[in-house]
Structure formats: C-alpha cells, structure tokens
C-alpha cells in the first residue's frame, strides 16, 4: 500500500477535483431541486440591477438604454449637493432607528410576559387580538390616528382636557417635533402583536428541562427569564435584528406619506418619498435610480457592519 504522502501535489488536486464532481453527481437531484429558486432569484434580483446604468445617463424613455447620453456622476453630485437630501436622510434614519429600538424591545417584553401566562385560552386570545391590527392597511390606520389626534373632537385631546392636563387642544399633527413619535407609536400599535409571534415561537422551543433544572437550583421567575428565556431566543433575535438593520434606510414611505402634511414636511419626508417626488414624478428616472443605488449600497454596508459587530461579540455569524 502506497502511503498518501507520496502523492505529487498535482495528482492530489486532480483526485480532489474528481471527488468534487463525484459528490456533485451524487447530489444531482438536490442541485436540480434548488435550481429553479436560484434562477428565480437571479431573474428578479440580479437582472434588474442592469438598470443601474441609467444612473450614469440622462435617461429619456424614448430611446433605448444604449442610445442615452452619458453624464458620469452628475446625478450623484447633484444628489449629494441638495440639502433637502440630508434632511430626508436624517428623517429616514431617525424614524427607522426609533422604530427598530421600540419595535424590538416592546414585542420581546410582551412575548416574555405572555410566555409566563398560565391560561392557554387567555394567552391565545390576547395574542390574536394584539396581532389583528397588523392586517389593517396604513390608509385606515392613518385615518384613525388623524381622527384620534384631531383638535376637532379628537379622543386624545378630549381626554387630556378632561384630565385638566391641558386647557387648549393640541395640534398634534401640525407639530414637526412630535411627528417621529407619532409614527413610531402608531407603528408599534400596528405591529407589536405581529412581531411578538416569532419570539413566542422561539420561546416555545426552549427545552423545558432547563427550566426544571433551574427550579431545582432555586431560581425564581425573573431569574429564569433572564438566564434561560432570553438567551434561548438570542439567535432568533440577532437574525431578525441584523436583517432589519439592512432595512434601516429603506423603510418605505407609506406611513410618512399618509400621516404627513405640508406643515411637518421637514420631519415627515423620507428618502423613498424624496425619490418619488424628485425622481419618478418629475420624469427624472436617472436621478431616482441614483437615489436607489445609494439606498442599496448603504443597506449592504449596514448589514455587514452589524454582522461584524455581532461576530466579534459572540463569535457566531448570521450571514
């Protein structure tokens, strides 16, 4: 029998390569099964990126992509020179960060408390009721918020007046500095129950033996929550958290568009709305695309940074 060490380096790599092909052949059905999804992702996520070249052109829909006038970085220069851009960037990041913090802490807290409940029926109904608002469209929610905060018989103002906290109705919707808060709170109301579902599921998956063991060791409720439940959902939490950091900059514009009004536009306008208004709505497709590219690049950076930090702290990685 020849010892393996005697093999020449070349022969080794051939063998390795053969083994790779052999393995691939063995798993050919698995590959074939995953192929459609890869194609799907390629078509819908990678082919459209081709359109990014319009950001470097002065795109006119009349002509084909190849007959356009090339303008280099002009669209980006214009974008970074517009002071409005920095206002909307600030608004976007502020609202999404607030949403991120509130949108994780409160649902986890809610799930923790719900997890401690004994009665199955009560637990289930609270859960169902709390996630129902998720299915209400933003148009309706915005209408509700407007009505509640109205000075003309709005419930919030009437309550505050009745409690003698204020003596004049407050124009909530006209105050720019309140806008971020209003968006965050209405988002919380709408999504709290929904966001907590996944944490509840993660909590249900924790091995009950851990709880039993800690009971024997004399741990109380809060000890158990702190040392078993929370670490038990850590991976779930981190995956979700890092993914939402990737969405920090692209928070959509539904809420802001529906809840906003001209008076608070300095606080309500977000990046997507800006792209719509100064890009598509004015037929400046190239400019809109430039904003889109900026969005994507920042999103990717954010995800990698978040993942890097997580990796350094816990030695685990999500991506």
Partner 1 sequence: MKRKMRMALSLMSALAFVFVTACSGSNTDGGKSTATPETTNATNEQPAEPMTIRFATGNNPNWDDMQSDIGKFIKEKTGITIKPEFIIDDGDEMLSLMVATDEYPDLVVPGSATNKMVDAGALLDLRPLIEEHAPNIKKVYGEYYNRLRWSKDDDAIYTLSLTGVDHTYFDSGSGFQLQHQVLEAAGYPEIKTVKDYEAAIKAYLEKNPTTADGQPNIGLSLNGGEWQILISVTNPAFYATGAPDDGEFFINQETYEAIMHYQRPEEREYFRWLNHMNDIGLLDPESFIQKYDQYKAKIASGRVLGLIDQQWDYGQAENALKAEGKFGSTYARFPVTLNETYQDHSFQGTGYLPALGIAITKDAQDPVRLIKFLDYLASDEGQVLLNWGIEGKHYNMVDGKRVIPDELLEQKTNDNNTFVKTTGIGNYNISARYGDGVKDQSGNYYTTTFPEQIQAAYSEEDKKTLKAYGATTYKDLWPSDDSFPERKYGAAWTLPFEATSEANVIKQKADDIMKKRIPEAILAKPEDFDKVYDQFLKDLEDAGVAKMNEEFTKMVKDRVELWSK
Residues that bind partner 1 (CB under 8 A): 20, 23-24, 31, 35, 38-39, 42-43, 47, 58, 60-62, 84, 146, 150-152, 171, 173-174, 261-263, 265-266, 276-278, 280-285
Give min distance, CB of 32 to partner 1, in A: 10
Give min distance, CB of 252 to partner 1, in A: 15
- CB nearer to partner 1: pick between 43 and 297: 43
Give min distance, CB of 151 to partner 1, in A: 6
Q: Spell 35-72 as b/e; 16+ CB within 10 A means b.
A: eeeeeeeeeeeeeeeeeeebbbbebeeeeeeeebeebe
- CB nearer to partner 1: pick between 108 and 273: 273
> Tokens representing 258?
């529906």
Report which of 310, 40, 35 is spatially closest to residue 319, judged by C-alpha positions: 310
Does the CA dihedral 241-243-244-245 come out positive or negative? positive
- Neighbouring C-beta atoms of residue 145, cutoff 10 Å: 23
Give min distance, CB of 253 to partner 1, in A: 12
- CB nearer to partner 1: pick between 7 and 43: 43
- CB nearer to partner 1: pick between 192 and 259: 259
- CB nearer to partner 1: pick between 17 and 134: 17
- Neighbouring C-beta atoms of residue 106, cutoff 10 Å: 15
> Tokens representing 5?
């060490």
Give min distance, CB of 87 to partner 1, in A: 11
- CB nearer to partner 1: pick between 173 and 240: 173
For the purposes of burial, counting CB atoms within 10 Å of the CB of 19, is it exposed (0-12), middle (13-18) or buried (19 or more)? exposed
Give min distance, CB of 317 to partner 1, in A: 15
């Amino acid at each position: 029998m020849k010892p393996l060490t005697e093999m020449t380096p070349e022969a080794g790599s051939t063998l390795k390569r053969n083994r790779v092909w052999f393995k691939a052949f063995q798993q050919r059905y698995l590959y074939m099964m995953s192929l459609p999804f890869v194609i799907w992702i390629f078509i819908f996520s990678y082919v459209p990126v081709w359109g990014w070249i319009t950001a470097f052109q002065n795109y006119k829909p009349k002509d084909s992509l190849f007959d356009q006038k090339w303008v280099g970085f002009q669209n980006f220069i214009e974008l970074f020179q517009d002071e409005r851009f920095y206002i909307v960037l600030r608004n976007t990041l502020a609202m999404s960060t607030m949403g991120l913090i509130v949108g994780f802490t409160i649902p986890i807290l809610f799930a923790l408390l719900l997890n401690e409940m004994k009665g199955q029926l009560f637990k289930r109904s609270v859960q169902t009721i709390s996630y129902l608002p998720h299915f209400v469209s933003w148009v309706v929610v915005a209408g509700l918020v407007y009505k509640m905060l109205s000075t003309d018989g709005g419930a919030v103002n009437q309550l505050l007046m009745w409690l003698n906290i204020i003596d004049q109705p407050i124009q909530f919707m006209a105050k720019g500095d309140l806008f971020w808060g209003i968006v965050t709170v209405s988002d919380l109301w709408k999504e709290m129950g929904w966001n907590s579902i996944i944490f509840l599921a993660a909590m249900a998956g924790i091995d009950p033996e851990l709880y039993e063991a800690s009971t024997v060791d004399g741990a109380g409720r809060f000890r158990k929550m702190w040392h078993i439940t929370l670490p038990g959902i850590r991976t779930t939490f981190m995956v979700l958290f890092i993914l939402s950091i990737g969405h920090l900059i692209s928070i959509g514009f539904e809420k802001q568009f529906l809840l906003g009004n001209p008076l608070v536009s300095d606080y309500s306008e977000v990046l997507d709305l800006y792209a719509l208004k100064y890009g598509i709505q004015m037929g400046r497709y190239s400019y809109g695309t430039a904003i889109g590219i900026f969005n994507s690049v920042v999103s990717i950076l954010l995800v990698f940074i978040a993942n890097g930090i997580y990796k350094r702290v816990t030695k685990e990685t999500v991506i």
